[in-house]
């Protein structure tokens, strides 16, 4: 994810940066992995206003993200890099060899068309998922599981990472 810097036309724009959306694919989200979750905006289960001055915000569709990465030894191809309105990180839509599609958190450097896989004996490269004992010390990783099989819980936001120490 790149950053766009601005020329300082006014003093407040001197150090202004914003996200660069050039790597995002312009396709619509994959419909089977999107769910509409209505905003409650201070209303209870009957729809009555119980807390004042709460707005619902903009309508958003939730993308169902796979944090587990549990299809071992199956190659997958990155079909698109997408914007997610519910989180700061970008999402990658991947398609496995058996036709299953999933959204995963897109690490920095992952591009459309890349081949990724997950398992015990896979090479250490961007997008691959493997156990912590198979990763060399000093490697920067994201979406780390606290317990095996529970799903990623650490370093899931954009720009965050964990560095493996011995």
Tell me the three-class secondary structure of 75-138, residue by residue.
Answer: CEEEEEEECCCCCCCCEEEEEECCCCEEEEECCCCCCCCCEECECCCCCCCCCCECCHHHCCCC
pTM, entire model: 0.85
Site of tokens 């992995």:
33
| pLDDT for position 126 | 94
Q: 132 φ, ψ to 5°?
A: -65, -30
* Predicted confidence (pLDDT) per residue in 67-88, tens digit: 999 999 999 999 999 999 999 8
* Predicted confidence (pLDDT) per residue in 38-59, tens digit: 888 889 999 899 999 888 888 8
Distance CA 160, CA 68 (A): 18
| pLDDT for position 23 | 85
Contacts of 149 (CB under 8 A, 6+ apart): 68, 70
* β-pair partners for 96: 76
Distance CA 151, CA 77 (A): 21
Q: Kindly list the domain boundaries of the chain, sorted by start residue.
A: 18-164
Distance CA 134, CA 41 (A): 46
Protein fold of 18-164: OB fold (Dihydrolipoamide Acetyltransferase, E2P) (2.40.50)
| pLDDT for position 142 | 93
pLDDT band at 93 (very low <50, low <70, confident <90, very high): very high
């Amino acid at each position: 994810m790149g950053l766009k810097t601005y020329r300082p036309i006014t003093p407040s724009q001197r150090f202004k940066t914003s996200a660069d959306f050039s790597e995002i694919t312009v396709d619509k989200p994959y419909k089977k992995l999107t769910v509409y979750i209505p905003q409650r905006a201070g209303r209870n289960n009957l729809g009555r206003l119980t807390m004042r001055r709460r707005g619902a915000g903009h309508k958003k569709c939730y993308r169902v993200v796979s944090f587990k990465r549990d299809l071992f030894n199956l190659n997958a191809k990155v079909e698109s890099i997408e914007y997610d309105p519910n989180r700061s990180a970008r999402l990658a839509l991947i398609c496995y060899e058996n036709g299953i599609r999933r959204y995963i958190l897109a690490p920095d450097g992952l591009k459309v068309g890349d081949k990724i896989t997950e398992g015990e004996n896979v090479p250490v490269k961007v997008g691959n998922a493997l156990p912590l004992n198979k990763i060399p010390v000093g490697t920067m990783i994201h979406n780390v599981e606290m317990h095996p099989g529970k799903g990623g819980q650490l370093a899931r936001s954009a720009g965050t990472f964990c560095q493996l120490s011995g």
